[in-house]
């Protein structure tokens, strides 16, 4: 019989070899892949969530080591690359070795190479792809009014995300209805506070087609975003709402958490009350460089942390990073104690 230490060493070698030989193994201790069955419900985060975010391309070099964050936000494309290169040990280390949740960021409202199944998209490509996104010429708005087509594309995307180890998805570009309207000098939030959501809808309707190529209404966006939540939950994935602050009242029940960029800077953190009242996490990002968004300047982290002590922000977990366009680069994030 082999000595105990040698048996342990050999067992460890077999486990590591198995990780590298197959994309995502299962074990009694930790299933890396999300399995949606009666024996496993989806992750339902509650309260404040310690988190980190890294849009880099190498999961093995996840650099942002905060105070033992519970969840890591990483691009779904990075997870797919890890699987293709059989580097599942990095995912296993995060999920199994460190017991972390993997929140997979992906583009859901716009076309971006590597984010969609090209074979599924090809037959409908001409009617589905709209204008290039302002500031992101490689991305094109999708025609989300074609809800059945989008459901098929999204279902395929989320199934792969679940199979590759994601615990949650974070869908970007889910506010096409207001693109070209929000974020400019805080005008929209002022209109909302003074005249209500009807005036915001009217303002947005005059901008959306020229910016996206499609007549996407407030109600179209609500239907699409609710579909995203339905499809994520059908795969036992949690789902986070990215921004889309003027639809939170209609969407907070369907989404498990939220991610907001710049709500303190732009003055609309209070719109997250439905998430806070439901004890759902709000992952909050502020930036040193606003890159022209909303207004000039950048609040001090101490100011943000003090504001987080109010009743409107009891589930906020705030990070301050260099800039929205630099989340793939290493920096030293500021946090609240």
Angle at 83 between CA 224 and CA 227, to 5 degrees: 10
* pLDDT tens sequence across 62-114: 544 545 578 878 778 777 766 555 556 767 777 776 778 889 999 999 999 98
* pLDDT tens sequence across 231-254: 999 999 999 999 999 999 999 999
- CA 66 vs CA 11, 47, 52, 79, 272: distances in Å: 32, 18, 7, 21, 24
Q: How many residues does the chain have?
A: 337
> How does residue 127 score in pLDDT terms, banded at 50, 70 and 90?
very high
Neighbour tally for 277: CB within 10 Å? 13
The answer to whether the CB of 175 falls within 8 A of the CB of 247 is yes
pTM recorded for the entire structure = 0.85
**Contacts made by residues 243-248, CB under 8 angstroms, sequence distance 24+:** 243/174, 243/175, 244/174, 244/175, 244/178, 245/182, 245/271, 245/272, 246/178, 246/182, 246/188, 246/192, 246/197, 246/200, 246/271, 247/175, 247/218, 247/221, 247/222, 248/272, 248/274, 248/275
> How does residue 199 score in pLDDT terms, banded at 50, 70 and 90?
very high
Phi and psi at 106, nearest 5°, equal: -155, 165
> How does residue 164 score in pLDDT terms, banded at 50, 70 and 90?
confident
Helix (H, G, I), strand (E, B) or coil at 117: coil
Phi and psi at 156, nearest 5°, equal: -65, -45
For residue 165, the model assigns a pLDDT of 85
For residue 5, the model assigns a pLDDT of 38
- CA 138 vs CA 76, 135, 152: distances in Å: 17, 9, 23
> How does residue 15 score in pLDDT terms, banded at 50, 70 and 90?
very low
Q: Which of the pair, 209 or 8, is modelled with greater confidence?
A: 209
> How does residue 4 score in pLDDT terms, banded at 50, 70 and 90?
very low
* pLDDT tens sequence across 173-195: 999 999 887 645 458 898 999 99
Arithmetic mean of pLDDT over the chain: 83
Of residues 260, 266, 251, 257, the one with CA closest to residue 192: 266
Rounded to whole angstroms, the Cα distance separating 193 from 196 reads 6
Q: What are the structural domains of the chain?
A: 28-177+219-335 (3.20.20.70)
Helix (H, G, I), strand (E, B) or coil at 132: strand
The answer to whether the CB of 312 falls within 8 A of the CB of 268 is no
């Amino acid at each position: 019989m082999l000595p105990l230490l040698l048996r342990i060493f050999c067992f460890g070698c077999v486990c590591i070899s198995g990780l590298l030989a197959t994309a995502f193994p299962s074990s009694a201790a930790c299933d890396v892949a999300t399995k949606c069955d009666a024996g496993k419900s989806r992750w339902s985060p509650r309260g404040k969530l310690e988190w980190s975010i890294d849009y880099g391309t190498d999961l093995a070099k996840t650099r942002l080591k905060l105070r033992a964050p519970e969840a890591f936000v990483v691009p779904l494309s990075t997870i797919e690359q890890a699987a293709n290169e059989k580097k599942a040990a990095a995912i296993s280390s995060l999920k199994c070795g460190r017991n972390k949740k993997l929140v997979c960021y992906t583009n859901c409202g716009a076309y971006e190479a590597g984010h969609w199944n090209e074979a599924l998209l090809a037959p409908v490509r001409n009617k589905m792809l709209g204008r290039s996104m302002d500031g992101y010429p490689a991305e094109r708005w999708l025609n989300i009014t074609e809800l059945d087509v989008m459901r098929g594309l999204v279902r395929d995307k989320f199934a792969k995300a679940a199979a590759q180890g994601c615990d949650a998805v974070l869908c970007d570009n889910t506010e096409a209805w207001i693109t070209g309207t929000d974020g400019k000098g805080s005008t929209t939030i002022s209109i909302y506070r003074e005249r209500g959501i009807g005036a915001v809808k009217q303002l947005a309707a005059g901008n959306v087609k020229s910016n996206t190529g499609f007549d996407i209404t407030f109600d179209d966006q609500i239907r699409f975003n609710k579909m995203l939540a339905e499809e994520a939950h059908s795969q036992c994935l949690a789902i986070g709402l990215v921004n889309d602050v003027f639809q939170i009242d209609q969407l907070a029940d369907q989404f498990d958490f939220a991610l907001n960029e710049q709500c303190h800077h732009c003055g609309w953190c209070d719109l997250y009350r439905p998430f806070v009242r439901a004890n759902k996490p709000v992952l909050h990002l502020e930036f040193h460089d606003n890159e022209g968004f909303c207004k000039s300047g950048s609040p001090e982290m101490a100011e943000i942390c003090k504001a987080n002590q109010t009743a409107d922000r009891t589930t906020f977990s705030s990070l301050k990073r260099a800039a929205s366009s630099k989340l793939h680069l290493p920096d030293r994030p500021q946090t609240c104690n």
